[in-house]
């Protein structure tokens, strides 16, 4: 039996930064390295100027691990994709409030299909009234980088939004995720600000040293 690794915050490595020629190998290694989720970013080239490879990698990688699949939809009108995503193995799905005219309806559809529903906010977007999204809302994803940049810097100002949200909704069971630009140098302050989950990409897969990088992140998280 593998010994469990204590992690002060749950880490969701983003496969957007993984080597695409070794995705399967990376996914199988993540649980042993201390990951809690596998994170996927799906872009449509409209809401953000990047374009993803679609949903087939999710389907192909699903049999390789029992880690939950956390899917971040960076696209307009995401409702049409939800049934297929959940059918092939998405466990948690976040949609952007900026891209959904009726976010409560979309979250309700995610929940009705059997997945956990989350709302994502770009750095410049203020916290909305989250109570209007009850009872479907399970988690909030705060982007801490600008999504239109290729290699964007971490924006520490987003931590103020995190702290405000945690304080305002402290009586709820909402989970708070910070996503973007997180590495061993700033993960400690993200955890201290109240993040329950952090999405980490480049800092996990840099140099092909997945296990070493995860160990450094876990140590720095406290």
Known catalytic residues are 41, 179
Q: Long-range contacts for 87-92 (Cβ within 8 Å, ≥24 apart)?
A: 88/55, 88/58, 88/59, 88/62, 89/58, 89/59, 89/62, 90/40, 90/58, 90/115, 91/115, 91/116, 92/37, 92/68, 92/116, 92/117, 92/118, 92/138, 92/139
| Per-residue tokens: 124 | 């410049």
- 117: nearest Cα among 60, 163, 54, 72: 72
Q: How far apart are CA 222 and CA 202, in angstroms?
A: 20
CB 214 within 8 A of CB 34: yes
Phi–psi pair at 69, nearest 5 degrees: -95, 120
């Amino acid at each position: 039996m593998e010994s469990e690794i204590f992690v002060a915050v749950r880490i969701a490595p983003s496969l957007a930064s993984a080597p695409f020629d070794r995705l399967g190998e990376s996914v199988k290694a993540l649980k042993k390295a201390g990951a809690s989720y596998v994170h996927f970013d799906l872009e449509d080239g409209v809401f953000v100027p990047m374009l993803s490879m679609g949903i087939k990698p999710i389907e192909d990688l699903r049999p390789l691990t029992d880690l939950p699949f956390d899917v971040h939809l960076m696209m307009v009108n995401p409702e049409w994709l939800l049934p297929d995503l959940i059918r092939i193995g998405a466990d948690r799905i976040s949609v952007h409030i900026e891209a959904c005219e009726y976010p409560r309806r979309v979250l309700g559809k995610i929940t009705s299909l059997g997945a956990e529903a989350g709302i994502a906010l770009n750095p410049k977007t203020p916290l909305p009234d989250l109570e209007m999204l009850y009872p479907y809302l399970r988690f909030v994803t705060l982007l801490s980088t600008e999504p239109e940049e290729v290699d964007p810097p971490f924006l520490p100002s987003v931590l103020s939004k995190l702290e405000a949200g945690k304080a305002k909704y402290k009586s709820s069971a909402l989970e708070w995720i910070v996503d973007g630009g997180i590495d061993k140098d700033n993960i400690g302050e993200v955890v201290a600000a109240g993040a329950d989950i952090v999405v980490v990409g480049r800092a996990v897969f840099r140099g092909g040293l997945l296990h070493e990088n995860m160990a450094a992140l876990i140590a720095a998280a406290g």
